[in-house]
Chains A and B, each alone.
Chain A
Amino acid sequence: MLSRRIVPCLDVRDGQVVKGVRFRDHVVVGEIVELALRYRDEGADELVFYDITASPEGRRVDRDWVERVAREIDIPFCVAGGIRSVDDAREVLHAGADKISINSPALERPELVREIADAFGVQCVVVGVDSLRDDDGEWRVRQYTGDPSRTRALRKRTLDWIEEVQGLGAGEIVLNCMGTDGVRRGYDIEQLKAARAVCSVPLVASGGAGTPAHFVDVFIEADVDAALAASVFHGGDIAIPALKRELRAQGIEVRS
């Protein structure tokens, strides 16, 4: 039976893992390969590296660290940020990433999803979706969320976009629920359930993890394939071995 995946997300800037408060004041928290190996050893099922400055500044992902990670690590990893073309995707995939994740550039030009899927297969195309509920009750997509001064609210409904990108060749969707992100009160189960209903490719929950119980809830109630989190892992609030024990105790299939 397919295991549910636990996916730590690491923010990368200039080849180092950083953390910041509200996208500012980034502090280097460690060397990228070292942290990747630490999470591998703790039982992470997959890693996402997000180049936090790439997309807003129109800068491409620096390839050196992708290759360094690929050489050392023996679990899958995805690179997000700054992938705007088939050439960008090729560079990152050839450096050894298993998947690339695109977000704002896919909103600028949805055909990019199809182009990358045609070139490398749907299995390596992840579409990241940043979503927030508007005053009228609809979830809609946000663009350029990496830079608060450039973030745009789009008319596009989140669920419509999720359906659209699957038709274009997305092999996986990461739904980042901005309303619950950063406050550690649990994933946005309601929104993720709605997304699940229209999503036949793997769905990854993002935004809101604070306790092991939040992971249990999102797997059981929203039936997501994977749960992504950053700060609770980096800060040591949740240790992955203990989290997996808890999930297993609740009858959720996880990799030992």
Chain B
Amino acid sequence: MFGILRTLWLTFLHMGHRRVTVGYPEHKPPLPPRYRGRIILSRDPDGMERCVACNLCAVACPVDCISLQKAEQDGRWYPDYFRINFSRCIFCGMCEEACPTYAIQLIPDFEMSEYLRPNLVYEKEDLLISGTGKYPDYSFFRVAGVKIPGKDKGEAEREAPPVDIHTLLP
């Protein structure tokens, strides 16, 4: 009995409390930087595409909304096309976790409503941004042992020069 009255009184006091909700279109809610929203493809600090078309994101995706095709140029792999169907995407972030090159990232933006469903299919031009996203200094090809123009084998960071198998010196 007393508990019920106390409940009533405490609820009544909530009249003076600050509201926890915000009026959305006027006041944008503060989103944390690791919020899982729209998916983007980032570039490395040199301005090249980070994505190496390894297909891990497409495999990890539980709803199979990612589709891409590999292409190759000067030893660098890159996606020929990269397509995300956002009408299927559930924003789980598995693709981001699977990505070995930090290319695919989820960013705090969720305002992507469309009147037509086909408009929610994003192509590579729509996904690719010009910046590095959440990892400003990381460049996959600078740490990987792959040979690309301007960087021969053994010239990557923390990489020893390759062993010359033709020499007999120890």
A, B in one complex: no
